[in-house]
Structure 1
Amino acid sequence: MIFMGHSAPAPTSTHRKLVIVVLGLAALITTMLCAFALPSLHSGPHHVPIGVTGTQQAAQDLQRTLDSDTWDVDVYASTSELKAAIEDQDVVGGLALQPGKLDVYTATAGAPSATGAVTALGDTLAADRHVAATVHDLVPFTADDPRGSGLTAALMPMIFGGIFPALILSGVFPGHRGLRTRLAGAVLFSLVAGVAVAAVLQFATHSIGGDYWMNAFGVVLGMTAMSTTLLGLQALLRMGGFAFGGALMMLLGNPLSGLATGPHWLPSGWATLGQLLPPGAAGSLLRTNAFFDGATAGFPALVLTGWIILGVALALIADRRGRRSPQAPSESVVVRQSTPADPQPAPVASGR
């Protein structure tokens, strides 16, 4: 009898794996620190787009005065054009110079932190000109949630709505044979959970407005993007891929989403990266659908669709590779070999 099984890993292989795990965890913690700490340390207005209007000379003088790393200033021909630009999310706020007064226009629901900065800027300019400043919030949060707490809190359910299905479905339907079932389950879960989350935000907490089905579509698209990406990474790279995807969504995508402050409150590079990751794109899509009639929905929807395509593509690659790979051997195989030393069966004598 010869018993063939998996031998214990060589010490060199064990040490190599240990080093890889330790270095990977150290890199993960370092990335998490950078993602949370650096944007916070350098948070503030960074190239915040605002508009100004008034007499041509006054508006152009104000544009030259304010244009800097803090403000990107555009001049508008009239107050109505400035207000339309704010409602279309071309700018986050604006200043209208009028004889004897200064009107400050904001959109709190679009950029909560930048709104405070624009208001403070208007107060400073009004004091310098010895005129009164009047603030007009064109796009506020809802009356039941004036600080937008519900919108900010919605990001975590969307992130976990992408991580949990990928994790649970991988355990219930493991291996190559369960890959397509996992993908179908993730999409189905996103549909059900997205509709439910949007309903709670709109009808239970009254934190968002707008068209309910557009809001639900944004949440569904965000959850689908995260869950399919995680499933694709897990199918192709196993648990290492899942860990990388989870860190990407939670440790990098969450702090860089800008959902609580608006993306313009983060340093430019971090803000751009955050909007290209699923959490940031999902938050921006929900914001614009809920408060701006989908004025800038195209870009975040395109980003989320791209992540869905990436996740499905990774899963298809893993599926094709799984079909080509031979059947894995069992952990222990018993092989019977005949040797010359084996005793031969004795002949059976015939009875008479």
Structure 2
Amino acid sequence: MSTPASTPAEADTPPSGTDATGTTGAAKKLAAVVLGLTAVVTMMLCAFALPSVNGGPHHVPIGVTGPQPAAQGLGAKLDGDEWDVTVYADTEALTAAIKDREVVGGIALSGGKADIYTATAGAPTATAALTALGNGLAAQQRLQPAVHDLVPYPEDDPRGAGFAAAGLPLIFGGMFPAVLLTRLFPGHAGLRLRLAGAVVFSLLAGAAVAAFLQYGTGSLAGSYGVTALGLSLGMAALSLTFIGLEALAGMAGFGAAAGVMMLLGNPLSGMASGPYWLPDFWAHLGQYLPPGASGTLLRANSFFDGAGAALPGTVLTCWIVFGLALILIADRRAARTAG
């Protein structure tokens, strides 16, 4: 029994719903990608623009000294949301506090002069604001101003450009080895190799970056060995955290950590401005993330003979312990699954 021949229109028509379903799925995927990229760009803009827009002195610790009535009056006048003022007995106590990083600078009134003491390498933007403040006060009271920079940047890099530019390389120095080691040594079998590789890389990369910044560009001073160890500590804190999150939660964990470090850690690190140029909450948050702690530790080791290194060193050590704990949990979980 013969069947009727298909018409040309019937022969060219695909099964019902195939094109519609495929087109709908592709449209949904495209919409998700476009919306996701838009959200990422918006978050990046917020993360990098808001600190700049809201930047300014926020509870910057400074000192004043001089004749007691004048010093007390000046301290009461300045103390507020912008400046946290401490009155010191004499100029020697003030300069010692600056070198110990108890304050970022100060003003000494004596003999018709206003001496402005700063430490540019500790907080460059706050130093500029303090200098402007001191000059303005001197002009109001008809005093002769004089600026003394107790801790400047090195002569080869007087603006600290090399130091400020080290922020992103420090973050990438933690991300790239984690990605590469995960690709080369995947799975549970390669977890310990990834751990060993991250530790060795951190030591070598810290030494290389310190050598380049100190001897190549002249951007750092102080003990090379101590500076290199501090940089290695910062890179290890990042890379071990990335490896631990990837081992425990896959690429989703790695992506979340990368987003936090790039979108929050970098703009809140204070590498270029110092830690006192952001609103209080964001300034403190930045100092408890590895990029900000690494930058503060680098300042302390390179310019202040280790003064103020305890807190950032402790923060980075805690991040390393956190990363090691994640790696240990992932290792135990994989061992139980295999068993």
Normalized against structure 1, the TM-score is what? 0.86
Which of residues 295, 301, 321 is equivalent to 2:333?
Answer: 321
What secondary structure is seen at the aligned counterpart in 2 of 1:207? coil
SS in 2 for 1:77: coil
Secondary structure of 2:186's aligned partner: coil
C-alpha separation in 1, matches of 2:31 and 2:287: 34
Partner of 2:129: 117
1:297-350 CA-to-partner distances (Å, cap 9, x unmatched) read 0000000000001111111111111111258xxxxxxxxxxxxxxxxxxxxxxx
2:124 is equivalent to residue 73 of structure 1: no
Do the aligned residues in 2 keep the contact of 1:202 with 1:209 (CA within 8 Å)? yes
2:312, 2:299 → 1: CA distance? 11
- How many angstroms does 1:222 deviate by? 0.4
Q: Distance in 2 between matches of 1:16 and 1:189?
A: 42
1: CA distance, partners of 2:305 / 2:75? 29
1:208-219 matched pairs, under 5 angstroms: 208-219=220-231
In the alignment, is residue 140 of structure 1 matched against residue 164 of structure 2? no
Change (3 A) 1:67 1:34: same
**Residues 46 and 265, structure 1, Cα contact 8 Å, conserved in 2:** yes
What is the CA-CA distance between 1:150 and the residue it aligns to?
1.1
* Aligned CA distance change for structure 1 residues 309 and 17 (closer, same or farther; 3 Å): farther
Structure with the higher helix share, 1 or 2: 2
Q: Does 1:97 align with 2:109?
A: yes
Q: Which amino acid aligns with 1:212?
A: Y
1:56 offset after TM fit, Å? Answer: 1.1
Other-structure match for 2:284: 272
- The equivalent residue for 2:310 is 298
Residue of structure 2 in register with 1:241 after alignment: 253
Structure 1 residue identity aligned to 2:179: L
Tell me the amino acid that sits aligned with residue 56 of structure 2.
G
Mapped to 2, the partners of 1:125 and 1:165 lie a distance apart of 51
Gaps of 5+ in 1: 1-10, 328-352
Write the letter of the residue equivalent to 1:91.
Answer: V
Taking a change above 3 Å as real, the CA distance of residues 264 and 104 of structure 1, as seen in their structure-2 partners, is same
Task: Count matched residues.
Answer: 318
| Paired AA for residue 43 in structure 1 | G
**3-state secondary structure, aligned to 1:210:** coil
Q: 1:87 pairs with 99, 107, 110, which one?
A: 99
CA distance in 1, matches of 2:191, 2:26: 30
Please state how far the C-alpha of 1:68 moved relative to its aligned partner. 1.1
User: What does 1:191-270 align with in structure 2 at a 5 Å threshold?
Assistant: 191-270=203-282
**1:28-56 deviations in Å (ceiling 9; x for gaps):** 44432322121111001111110000011
Does 2:55 correspond to 1:43?
yes
Q: Does 1:107 align with 2:119?
A: yes
Secondary structure class of the residue paired with 1:325 = helix
Segment of structure 1 superposing worse, 240-249 or 219-228: 240-249
Deviates more, 1:246-255 or 1:50-59: 246-255
Which of 118, 141, 152 in structure 1 is aligned with 2:164? Answer: 152
Percent identity of the aligned residues?
62
Give the aligned residue type for 1:38.
Answer: L
- How do 1:273-288 residues align onto structure 2 when only pairs under 5 Å count? 273-288=285-300
Cα separation, 1, equivalents of 2:102 and 2:33:
46
CA distance in 1, matches of 2:241, 2:43: 20
Q: 1:64 to 1:224 in 2, by over 3 A?
A: same
| Cα distance change, pair 22–175 in 1 and its aligned pair in 2 (3 A) | farther
Identify if the C-alpha distance between structure 1 residues 283 and 316 changes in structure 2 by more than 3 Å, giving closer, same or farther: same
Using the alignment, how far apart are the partners of 1:17 and 1:250 within structure 2?
26
Report if the CA contact (8 A) 1:107-1:139 is conserved: yes
Distance 2:144 2:183 in 1: 64
Computing the radius of gyration from Cα coordinates, the structure with the larger value is 1
Q: Paired residue for 1:349?
A: none
Contact 1:28–1:247 (CA under 8 A) maintained in structure 2: no
SS of 1:178 mapped into structure 2: helix
Higher relative CO (Cα under 8 Å, sequence separation at least 6) belongs to 1
Q: Which amino acid letter does the alignment assign opposite residue 47 of structure 2?
A: A
1:149-204 per-position Cα deviation (integer Å, ceiling 9, x unaligned): 11111222211110000000000000111111101100100111110110111111
Q: In the TM superposition, what is the alpha-carbon distance from 1:26 to its structure 2 partner?
A: 5.8
- Stretches of structure 2 lacking an aligned partner (at least 5 in a row): 1-21
Whichever residue aligns with residue 112 of structure 1, its letter is P
Aligned to 2:7: none
Superposed CA RMSD in Å reads 2.2
Instruction: Output the CA distance in 2 between the equivalents of 1:19 and 1:289.
Output: 49
Alignment partner, residue 164 of structure 1 = 176
Letter in 1 for 2:126: A
Code of the residue aligned with 2:101 in structure 1: it is Q
Contact 1:278 1:303 in 2 (8 A): yes
How far is 1:211 from its partner? 0.5
